[in-house]
């Protein structure tokens, strides 16, 4: 352990960057439940997934045993353009809060996609290119994933087709424009381009779309287009694998200074950031080498962990995807229109769901006005304008630091600051103007969605 003062920002050198992704599942005694083929209700085999996903990614998706996957040299080169991401000691925030807690955050916003999503986007684009594909399709909600994938595809000269949830497409023209800068084509979803889009539009003529809907369209487009596959920015095991680079860097940086966290906090929508951040720490926990409090933070308006059920469900609204066992609100659930930003998926990563079910992590939900209050507070003190998603973790990190203030405990808190909010100023404006409200679904609403879960459970 070094005794020198811990700097504001801990940057690893390039030689300290991870050379392999860590597969958390390898250390789980009880593995996450497999994806099911909705027709046969049997676990999906690699060959059944081959029309949808890239080959190497399917192998990563289904592999519950290999602990490390080497990061290909081309991806490591790309990582070096924007990584290592700094682990920041929040000295100013600590001082302002007057807390004895020590607060660190892993900042993943220092790249043009504005979030951690690029870590997996570049990996997925690489494997698509390796397979000789022409391009990939995907969906995007808040727009971070679509932007990240556009950048990655541009780097590998792949075609990139993004279905963007219509309300987001209309409210965030600048997000769309960044994707165009990277050469992607962006279609508002639901669209007339797909059968499922036409069907949804016929049933709900005025709909502004949903993530589940856009997923269905992107999958259909991939499987019906020659030389295309579908890629996804969260939820899947392969995505958590790629995102382990966040946690591995965090752990190396902490170890360098002999710091052992007490609490690790991350926001959770589909689970990509949280799963990546906690990976090596949860690994130690699973192997009985160390213990940490791990907290998932989700929006009160889309509370899959805290108010969902652990059951098999469809991953998309159009029910064209395999079924996954996860904490879910039901695949028809769409968060209230006043919900700002991402973290709006109805389910949660199978891996994280299983870990949560085993009691290895906690979950809390927070109201969005409380989230934006924390966001603005943080921006003014730490000088980074956070994304609404990331601000969920900030909220709980501040709450935990304030508890330490009461008890006098010098806990070490690490949280994931997944990205920046430059494209979320409409939401900030609503907050400033006092026009932001909170919507928490009622028990009756949730019950109605739950009743529609597939019969397999």
Footprint on this chain of its own copies (rule: CB under 8 A): 7-9, 11, 13-14, 77-78, 80-82, 91-92, 110-112, 114, 151, 154-155, 173-174, 177-178, 180-183, 376, 379-385, 420, 422-423, 425-426, 428-429, 432
CB closer to its own copies, 143 vs 335: 143
Question: What phi and psi, each to the nearest 5 degrees, are found at residue 236?
Answer: -70, 155
Distance, in Å, from the CA atom of 49 to the CA atom of 323, rounded to the nearest integer, reads 12
CB of 8 to its own copies, least distance (A): 4
CA of residue 131 relative to chain centroid, distance: 25
CB of 182 to its own copies, least distance (A): 6
Within a 10 A sphere around the Cβ of 397, how many other Cβ atoms? 30
Distance, in Å, from the CA atom of 277 to the CA atom of 414, rounded to the nearest integer, reads 10
CB closer to its own copies, 415 vs 449: 415
Distance, in Å, from the CA atom of 287 to the CA atom of 224, rounded to the nearest integer, reads 44
CB closer to its own copies, 260 vs 380: 380
CB closer to its own copies, 286 vs 381: 381
Beta strands of 263-359 (E only): which ranges?
263-267, 293-299, 309-314, 323-328
CB closer to its own copies, 141 vs 386: 386
* Closest by CA position to 190, among listed 176, 171, 211, 173: 211
Q: Which residues are registered as beta bridge partners of 88? A: 9, 105
CB of 189 to its own copies, least distance (A): 21
CB of 380 to its own copies, least distance (A): 5
Tokens 């090596």, residue located = 280
Following DSSP, what letter does each residue of 157-174 receive, concatenated? T-EEEEEEEHHHHHH-HH
Q: How far is CA 401 from CA 6, 71, 93, 94, 95, in A?
A: 19, 36, 10, 8, 11
CB closer to its own copies, 110 vs 407: 110
Helix ranges restricted to H, 257-361: 272-286, 304-307, 350-357
CB closer to its own copies, 242 vs 307: 242
CB of 71 to its own copies, least distance (A): 15
CB closer to its own copies, 53 vs 155: 155
CB of 111 to its own copies, least distance (A): 6
CB of 374 to its own copies, least distance (A): 13
CB closer to its own copies, 11 vs 257: 11
CB of 5 to its own copies, least distance (A): 9
CB of 403 to its own copies, least distance (A): 25
CB closer to its own copies, 68 vs 91: 91
Length of the chain: 457
Any idea of the CA torsion for 174, 176, 182, 183, to the nearest 10 degrees? -140
CB of 425 to its own copies, least distance (A): 4
CB closer to its own copies, 7 vs 258: 7
Half-sphere exposure of 325 (CA within 13 A, CB side): 19
CB of 132 to its own copies, least distance (A): 21
């Amino acid at each position: 352990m070094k005794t020198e003062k811990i700097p504001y920002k801990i940057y690893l050198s390039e030689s300290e960057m991870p050379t392999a992704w860590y597969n958390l599942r390898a250390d789980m005694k009880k593995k996450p439940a497999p994806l099911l083929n909705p027709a046969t209700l049997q676990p999906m085999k690699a060959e059944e997934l081959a029309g949808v996903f890239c080959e190497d990614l399917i192998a990563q998706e289904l592999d519950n045993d290999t602990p490390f996957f080497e990061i290909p040299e081309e991806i490591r080169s790309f990582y070096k353009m924007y990584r290592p991401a700094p682990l920041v000691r929040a000295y100013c925030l600590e001082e302002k809060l007057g807390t004895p807690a020590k607060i660190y955050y892993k900042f993943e916003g220092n790249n043009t996609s504005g979030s951690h999503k690029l870590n997996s986007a570049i990996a997925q684009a690489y494997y698509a290119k390796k397979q000789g594909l022409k391009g990939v399709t995907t969906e995007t909600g808040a727009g971070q994933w679509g932007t990240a994938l556009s950048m990655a595809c541009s780097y590998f000269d792949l075609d990139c087709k993004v279905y963007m949830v219509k309300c987001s497409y209309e409210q965030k023209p600048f997000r769309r424009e960044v994707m165009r800068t990277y050469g992607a084509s962006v279609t508002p979803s639901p669209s007339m381009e797909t059968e499922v889009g036409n069907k949804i539009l016929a049933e709900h003529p005025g709909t502004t779309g949903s993530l589940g809907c856009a997923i269905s369209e992107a999958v259909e487009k991939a499987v019906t287009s020659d030389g295309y596959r579908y890629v996804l920015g969260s939820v899947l095991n392969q995505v958590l694998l790629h995102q382990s680079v966040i946690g591995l860097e965090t752990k190396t940086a902490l170890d360098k200074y002999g710091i052992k966290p007490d609490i690790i906090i991350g926001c959770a929508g589909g689970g990509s950031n949280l799963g990546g951040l906690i990976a090596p720490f949860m690994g130690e926990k699973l192997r009985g080498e160390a213990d940490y409090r791990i907290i998932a933070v989700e929006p009160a308006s889309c509370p899959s962990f805290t108010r969902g059920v652990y059951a098999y469900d469809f991953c998309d609204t159009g029910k064209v995807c395999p079924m996954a066992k996860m904490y879910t609100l039901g695949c028809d659930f769409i968060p209230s229109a006043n919900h700002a930003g991402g973290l709006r998926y109805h389910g949660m990563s199978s891996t994280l769901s299983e870990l949560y079910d085993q009691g290895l992590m906690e979950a809390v939900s927070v109201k969005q006005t409380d989230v934006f209050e924390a966001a603005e507070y943080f921006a003014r003190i730490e000088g980074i304008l956070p994304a609404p998603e990331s601000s969920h973790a900030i909220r709980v990190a501040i709450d935990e630091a304030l508890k330490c203030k009461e008890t006098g405990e010098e806990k070490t808190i690490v949280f994931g600051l997944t990205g920046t909010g430059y494209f979320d100023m409409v939401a900030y404006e609503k907050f400033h103007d006092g026009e932001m409200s909170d919507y928490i679904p009622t028990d009756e609403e949730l019950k109605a969605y739950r009743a529609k879960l597939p019969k397999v459970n």
